[in-house]
Structure 1
């Protein structure tokens, strides 16, 4: 192989690992991976993601796992995530984006949860496999950075659950850690190295910690959809461990329709805003990370803005922000879709001025032609006799968040031909 050819093979893979603190793979391994990638034209595609954020103190792990000046000291964390597209090979991304110190992962493993259940504290030990990082058992993820596991030949099925186990011998110093509080999925933790244990029997919470993405090695015709949103997309009002957020239900609809080459990735967080304030980084500060920089992304879907309106944001400011995001996505060669802001009559957000702002933003979404396509979520869920309110059977009870029936109705009416 000529030196120039070798360089052309190495460069993309070295750049891909630029955010990873693991030791580099051998030159032979890198060349082998590059040749394989060129031969079958496969690429990495997000099959599951969560929006990383600084974990609020109220959402930190129980006190038994936060003492002694470190979080998760001498503890195993067992978490389950919902795979969207299947693959024969995967890799796991860990995030220390908001950590106040380096994140020392002593060892990690994956397995299939017992009975395939979300939030299970038990695994099928016959499916257990260790993760490595640059060929090593553990890794220290620098403050503010992410890290990938080495790719592992491990078959995952579409819409299946995957268990990710992490063991932190020394824990992460301090109490500023990265996670996703709105997991709607039970995470288990127990003292000691329990990576290989069939069952973890310590404390449990409905939050994710550190695990940020699972990527699938998939054919070139497979791509990722990233959904940018707030608590309605994050699943407030859905059922814990049931995977019945509206994106999960749309995924199921697409899979049933034979559309199996599209990864669904939920990049939403409760209380999130477009402009400023709220919980987690506002959309204008995170959309490049959460959409443009994701692996295999082809489509971006925006469904956000209600928290801005509830905080008295100007409709024109929200529209201007959407224009910026759309322009950047299209400049990156991505298609962008938008959904209208759903009603909130009866909620504390409700007022005549807020309703006027919602209507103005929604009119722009539907008529401006800025998006490659739109879905009128507001019309689907609104009470026809009072369009400023959710229809009662689609109302979770607070006038803002849909019920499980509401999420199902959104999925039932989501157009399967939208992403072309």
Structure 2
């Protein structure tokens, strides 16, 4: 490989266990009960077609990463193809036929077997022409025998992007038109794309929860706040060579597992092992506060443990020569008079409580004043209503008092100070 170039991740999705409610439609699952044992085969004789929008492009080569992190059996992928999505549209089942390429592994094998807990990295792929930033790639995976599983498979349910499942091997088809085709909003097995770029280029990994994962963003719109931030990076010559890697998941916490593993346990896999990472942002903590009991003792403990957790993350990230920023935790209080018996039933956050709000303020104060981070991004300043302390500004509230809307995402991206990359520039 050219010594002046290296691999840098240009797109990622945090691998997660697939809960029963997030499994594919029934026609793509075989359930066999033998005595007291339940055997489940997922995606037998199935093609999954998925699109992803990369950040940085490349002059020549890229490669695909697939994950079996949470599978309970071998993952055998019979055929994989990649192509440009038709008209560069996310969530399209149609490809540009003249760009179709077979993905191979281990110097030319078209089939790969991924053991439990592992990942696979493809051979380098090329379309024979440069890939531009913001290109939408289409990945088609055919599983002849499916994957046997007792507890689920590896996926990312918060894709905010349409994918398609079809019976039979359709990996090389220009479009999926079989009557069995079903659209789902989910990514399965795909975990990363790397590009071969000059050594001066690098990646910015963002660790977060549903706010970063894109809850309340537009399906196929690519308008999460990190997506919008990448547009700003591209417009600045100093930051135009930095990719953005979204390693967030709904419900994620620093200290305890939820819909996926906690931050402290996933840091190595989801951040430190990624290619070319030079900067990290931690924007987590609201779910730790919101799921802890709303009493003084519990909130004192969770606040102290969160601060200790932040310190651990900083130490581990700095040990790899990577800069780390922190974002303040944003508001989640309900408005005056919103006393409800069942917050979730009425579409409101259940986190709201004055004691929890004080923990958020205490942790944010520590983030600002501790000096352990290389920079602090004050998203709370952007989103908090100064006239109603502890609440999201009305124009930024998606409606549940916790999740910002797309207008807020734009405000967050516009607020993000690009000079933090210059202040800690490693290039």
TM-score by length of 2: 0.88
1:388 to 373, 387, 390: 390
Q: Which residue in 2 is equivalent to 1:75?
A: 46
Aligned to 2:314: 326
Contact 1:224 1:262 in 2 (8 A): yes
- Does the 8 A contact of 1:390 with 1:399 survive in 2? yes
TM-superposition CA deviations, 1:388-416 (whole Å, max 9, x none):
00001101110000000000000111111
- SS class of match (1:263): strand
User: What's the counterpart of residue 344 of structure 2?
Assistant: none
Kept after mapping to 2: 8 A contact 1:83/1:156? no
CA distance in 1, matches of 2:17, 2:362: 32
Report the equivalent of 1:306: 286
Q: What is the CA–CA distance in structure 2 between the aligned matches of 1:341 and 1:281, rounded to whole Å?
A: 20
Q: Helix, strand or coil for the counterpart of 1:298? A: strand
8 Å CA contact 1:273–1:279 kept in 2: the answer is no
Q: Does 1:127 align with 2:106?
A: no
Q: Displacement, 1:418? A: 1.4
Mean Cα displacement is larger for which, 45-54 or 154-163? Answer: 154-163
Match for residue 29 of structure 2? 66
1:45 aligns to what? 8
Out of 241, 255, 271, the position equivalent to 2:251 is 271
Provide Cα deviations, 1:176-206, integer angstroms capped at 9, x if missing partner.
Answer: 2100000000110101111111112401111
CA distance in 2, matches of 1:206, 1:307: 23
Corresponding residue number in structure 2 for 1:147 = 120
Contact persistence 2:17–2:259 (CA under 8 A): no
Moved over 6 A (4+): none
Task: Give the TM-score, by structure 1 length.
Answer: 0.90
Alignment partners' CA distance in 2, 1:297 and 1:124: 31
Report the RMSD for the aligned CA atoms in angstroms: 1.0
Structure 1 position 227, deviation (Å):
0.4
How big is the shift at 1:332?
1.2
8 Å CA contact 2:56, 2:133 repeated in 1: yes
Query: Which residue number corresponds to residue 35 of structure 2?
Result: none
> Structure 2: how far apart are the matches of 1:361 and 1:159?
36
Cα offset, 1:159, TM superposition: 1.2
User: 1: CA distance between counterparts of 2:390 and 2:134?
Assistant: 35
Moved more, 242-251 or 154-163: 154-163
Aligned pair partner of 2:403 in 397, 401, 404: 401
2:343 alignment counterpart:
none
For 1:57 and 1:98, how far apart are their aligned partners in 2? 13
Unaligned residue ranges in structure 2 (runs of 5+): 32-39, 293-298, 335-348
Tell me the equivalent position of 1:113: 85
Among residues 137, 144, 147, which one is paired with 1:169 in the alignment?
Answer: 144
Matches within 5 A, 1:85-104: 85-87=56-58, 88-104=60-76
The corresponding residue for 1:315 is 303
CA distance in 2, matches of 1:319, 1:282: 15
Match of 1:54 in 2: 17
Does residue 249 of structure 1 match 2:228?
Answer: yes
Task: List per-residue Cα deviations over 1:336-392 (Å, max 9, x = no partner).
Answer: 000000000113201111011000110011111110001100010111101200001
Deviation at 1:210, TM superposition (A): 0.2
Q: Distance in 2 between matches of 1:124 and 1:153?
A: 15
Which residues of 2 match residues 198-277 of structure 1 at below 5 A? 198-201=174-177, 202-258=181-237, 259-277=239-257
3-state SS in 1 of match to 2:120: strand
Separation in 1, partners of 2:74, 2:257: 27
Counterpart of 1:286 in structure 2 is 266
Give the secondary-structure state (helix, strand or coil) at the position aligned to 2:161.
coil
Q: In the aligned structure 1, how far is the partner of 2:43 from the partner of 2:258?
A: 27
CA distance in 2, matches of 1:246, 1:377: 11
TM-aligned CA deviation for residue 252 of structure 1: 0.8
Q: 1:219, 1:279 → 2: CA distance?
A: 37
Cα distance between partner residues in 2 of 1:387 and 1:300:
29
Deviation at 1:279, TM superposition (A): 1.4
2:86–2:92 contact (8 Å) kept in structure 1: yes
Alignment partner of 1:197 is 2:198? no
Deviation, structure 1 residue 333: 0.6
- Aligned residue-pair number: 383
Check whether the contact 2:217–2:224 (CA below 8 A) recurs between aligned residues.
yes
